[in-house]
Amino acid sequence: MYYFSEFATNRKRINYFLISLAQRIKPERIFAYPIKLTVCPGNVCNLKCALCPVGQNDKGREKGLMEFHTFKKIIDECGPYLYELDLYNWGEPFLNKDIFEMVRYAKKFKIKVSISSNLKHFDEKICSELVKSGVDHLIISLDGTSQESVNKYQAGNVFSEVISNMKKLVRKKSELNSIKPFVQWRFLVNRYNEEEIEEAKDLAREIGVDKLEITIFRCDMGNELLFNSREQFENVQDWLPGNETLSMYDYSNKAKKTPREDACGWLWTQSTINWNGSVSPCCAVWHEKFDFGNVNNESFWKIWNNRRYQDARRVNSGSSITAPDNICKTCYLNKATL
């Protein structure tokens, strides 16, 4: 997929070959850059989603917005090797005034850029910039087809505004004769909206979004890696849909249906960089104390192969469970991720 992608270059292909080899043999050190990065433009948000640490105002990570010079430093080093960039993680990306400058800069390196937004902070200017900037993929988080159901989880959201903004975006794409961004409505199923799925399908067709994604509910995002399977179930059980087929959990055993058994591919293929340059081994790490370094203090390459990354790879490859404690060891022992 990557090798013949429209985003490929000869340098990226060589790097991808080395990454594929590393993913297969799982060494502690890697002699290639990640093929995908998650870069968080800011962990500030206009909503208070119930199981999001930003919405909870959790103090585990300092709040702020990424400055363009930090983003440029990251892309100048890693961009020549990247196929994909997720320009989102914690928070609402459109609250960062430099978001489209970041997109345009990344596109100079022939990278697929994705953004996830609640689409509440949105106006005509943002709509136009979004289409013109070259964003390839936009995920819109809207969890329900009524104000009542949306309010249950996405506190502060306004259903009618987001639907209006979806329509505005689809019209703007048509006006500018653009196929980008690919617009994906992400509908997170919980017990308060599970009866609205069919209505969401009808509404998605009416609006003209490219895809409606019906996705499963997970536990407290700031602590997910710290919980084992049963603890995750206990944490999220009040939110789970009545229909067990729409859940990742086995309600009888009160645990995940399929706990993860294999090694985490993130440690060999991709990484996450937070708004202040702090590097997390994956997008699910909330507490800054678990991070592996900071690109404002040293190169990403040096962090990518430092002792903390090597310890994490050693544990996840199964070669040494006695490696020093870090968040990847905790996650591995908990079988915490999907």
Q: Give residue-wise pLDDT tens across range 306-332.
A: 999 999 999 888 776 776 778 999 998
Query: 3-class SS at 236?
Result: helix
Residue 120: which pLDDT band, with cuts at 50, 70 and 90? very high
pLDDT at 302 over 90: yes
Give the pLDDT confidence score for residue 48 in this predicted structure. 95
Closest CA to 86 of 37, 49, 128: 37
Distance CA 291, CA 293 (A): 6
Give the pLDDT confidence score for residue 316 in this predicted structure. 86
- pLDDT > 70: percent of the chain: 98
pLDDT at 157 over 90: yes
Residue environment code for 200-226, b if the CB has 16+ CB neighbours within 10 A, otherwise e: beebbeebebeebeeeebbbbbbbbbb
Asked if 203 and 145 touch (Cβ cutoff 8 Å), the reply is yes
- Tens-place pLDDT, residues 45-90: 999 999 999 999 999 999 999 999 999 999 999 999 999 999 999 9
Query: Pairing between strand 249-250 and 255-256?
Result: antiparallel
Q: What average pLDDT does range 169-189 have in this prediction?
A: 97
